[in-house]
């Protein structure tokens, strides 16, 4: 049986040609990878803002039905807490939920947080909000009476107190 071999008259790819192809592929990847990563960051930010808006609506409905915010003396800081108040009946008088199908973690794997009574408006009303700690997963906001949250936090205030802020630099 005859095995095909490269003879003197047959040509294959040289090492230089292969290196040129690898260099071209690397150059193309370096041009498109940052755009892809930037698009992914923008997508994650949009998902977080949409989920916060859904949570805000669910909390407002919960308050309309029960006369109180969920867990009104403490903050909600775990996904289990969210699901206990908004998806399953926590035994609160007036509960007419479920107010949302489920509550998941933010796009960066951290639970959304509900804060109540952190600060007060000039009229003495509590400033309540839902938030994501953002990409870094750390609470960067220290003053909830201002319109701009700190760092990469994403804050959505309830009942028209303030608009959605944050999202900082990802």
* Residue 121 and residue 94 in contact, taking contact as beta carbons nearer than 8 Å: no
pLDDT tens readout for residues 45-66:
899 999 999 988 888 898 889 8
Pairing of the two strands 129-132 and 113-115: antiparallel
* Residue 81 and residue 105 in contact, taking contact as beta carbons nearer than 8 Å: no
pLDDT at 119 (0 to 100): 56
CA gap 91, 75 in Å, rounded: 18
- Is the alpha carbon torsion for 72, 73, 74, 78 positive or negative? negative
Structural domains in the chain, sorted by start: 43-166 (3.30.700.10)
pLDDT tens readout for residues 62-97:
888 988 877 655 556 677 777 788 888 878 889 887
Would you say the pTM of this structure is higher than 0.75? Answer: no
């Amino acid at each position: 049986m005859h095995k095909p071999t490269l003879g003197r008259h047959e040509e294959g790819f040289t090492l230089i040609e292969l290196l040129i192809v690898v260099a071209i592929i690397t150059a193309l990847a370096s041009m498109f990878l940052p755009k892809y990563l930037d698009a992914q960051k923008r997508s994650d930010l949009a998902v977080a803002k949409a989920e916060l808006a859904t949570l805000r609506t669910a909390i407002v409905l919960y308050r309309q039905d029960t006369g109180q915010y969920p867990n009104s003396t403490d903050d909600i800081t775990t996904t289990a807490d969210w699901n206990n108040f908004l998806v399953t009946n926590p035994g609160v008088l007036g509960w007419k939920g479920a107010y949302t199908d489920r509550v998941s973690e933010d796009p960066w794997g951290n639970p959304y947080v509900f804060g109540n009574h952190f600060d007060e408006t000039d009229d003495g009303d509590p400033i309540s909000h839902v938030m994501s700690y953002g990409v870094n997963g750390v609470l960067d906001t220290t003053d909830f009476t201002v319109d701009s949250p700190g760092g990469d936090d994403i804050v959505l205030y309830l009942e028209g107190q303030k608009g959605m802020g944050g999202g900082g630099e990802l």
